[in-house]
């Protein structure tokens, strides 16, 4: 059975007499250890879908199953990395990363050892005692990633985690994430606006329609890793995804103009 199953999930937001149909009949089966990416125009419901899988939001209809069990709320089996930095400014890097382990009741010495391993893995060795405001945006996002991974979730949910970073930091973090994913064999559910990032990282890329978000197509990326962003095959995938996305992005723009 698939690790993560999204079954007939729809989401309607209602507020002040408005009704927004965010997701419509989403069905997905994501395998254990799969790197699965979702793309789609702004406002098509990507974050909503991720939050429903995280258990931060209830679907209006349908359900999410993790290892066959229905998701009823957030859990340590799923770790989330949000687009915006979500560190605790009053805690050092080390204490931010140990936070989840503290909640789990892991003794101080052990949790600090685990945290240090992940801080090193994201390239921040030597910054354990720094505070978030002393770090660049890219470094803060690395801390957020280390914090999520230190909790050892089975499924990592990432909502445009590199969107605010410069291109160089982004490329470095893509490679770091791939290393961790290959080594620890996590299941990753990843949201991005970058077509190249999606092709570079993913086993499969799902493309959503304009709102209400439905799954329009799922492209399997059949390329050996590490992938060459300039290879002919890579460019072919890019063309294919651009064409699928273009139609949906145009729908969104027409609606706004």
Q: Which residues contact Mg ion (rule: CB under 5 A)? A: 46-47
Q: How far is the CB of 210 from ligand ADP (least distance, A)?
A: 10
Q: How far is the CB of 206 from ligand ADP (least distance, A)?
A: 12
Phi, psi of 232 (to 5 degrees): -60, -40
Q: Say which entry of Mg ion, ligand ADP, none residue 44 contacts (CB below 5 to 8 A, set by partner kind).
A: ligand ADP
CA 74/CA 148 separation, integer angstroms: 13
Query: In what side-by-side order are the strands of the sheet with 69-70?
Result: 18-30, 4-15, 61-66, 69-70
Q: How far is the CB of 199 from ligand ADP (least distance, A)?
A: 19
Judged by beta carbon, residue 82 or residue 127, the one nearer ligand ADP is 82
Strands (E), the chain: 4-15, 18-30, 35-39, 61-66, 69-70, 78-81, 155-159, 187-191, 204-208, 215-220
CA distances 195 to 111, 199, 201, Å, are: 37, 6, 10
Site for ligand ADP in 32-51 (CB under 6 A): 40, 42-48
Judged by beta carbon, residue 2 or residue 20, the one nearer ligand ADP is 20
Judged by beta carbon, residue 43 or residue 75, the one nearer ligand ADP is 43
Residues that bind ligand ADP (CB under 6 A): 13, 15, 20, 22, 40, 42-48, 211
């Amino acid at each position: 059975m698939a690790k993560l199953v999204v079954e007939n999930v729809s989401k309607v937001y209602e507020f002040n007499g408005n009704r927004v149909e965010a997701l419509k009949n989403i069905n997905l089966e994501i395998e254990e250890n799969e790197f699965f990416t979702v793309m789609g125009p702004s406002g098509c419901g990507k974050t909503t879908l991720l939050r429903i899988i995280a258990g931060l939001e209830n679907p209006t209809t349908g359900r999410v199953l993790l290892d066959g069990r229905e998701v009823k709320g957030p859990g340590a089996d799923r770790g989330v990395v949000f687009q915006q930095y979500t560190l605790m400014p009053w805690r050092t890097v080390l204490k931010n990363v140990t936070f989840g382990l503290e909640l789990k009741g892991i003794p101080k010495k052990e949790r600090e050892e685990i945290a240090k391993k992940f801080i090193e893995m994201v390239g921040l060795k030597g910054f354990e005692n720094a505070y978030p405001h002393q770090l660049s945006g890219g470094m803060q996002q690395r801390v957020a990633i280390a914090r999520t991974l230190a909790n050892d979730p089975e499924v990592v949910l990432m909502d445009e985690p590199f969107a605010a970073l410069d291109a160089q930091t982004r490329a470095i973090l893509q490679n770091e994430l791939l290393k961790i994913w290959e080594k620890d064999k996590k299941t990753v559910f990843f949201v991005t606006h970058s077509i190249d990032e999606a092709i570079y990282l993913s086993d499969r890329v799902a493309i959503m329609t304009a709102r209400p978000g439905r799954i329009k197509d799922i492209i399997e990326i059949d390329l050996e890793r590490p992938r060459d962003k300039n290879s002919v095959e890579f460019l072919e995938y890019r063309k294919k995804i651009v064409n699928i996305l273009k139609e949906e992005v145009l729908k969104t723009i027409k609606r706004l103009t």
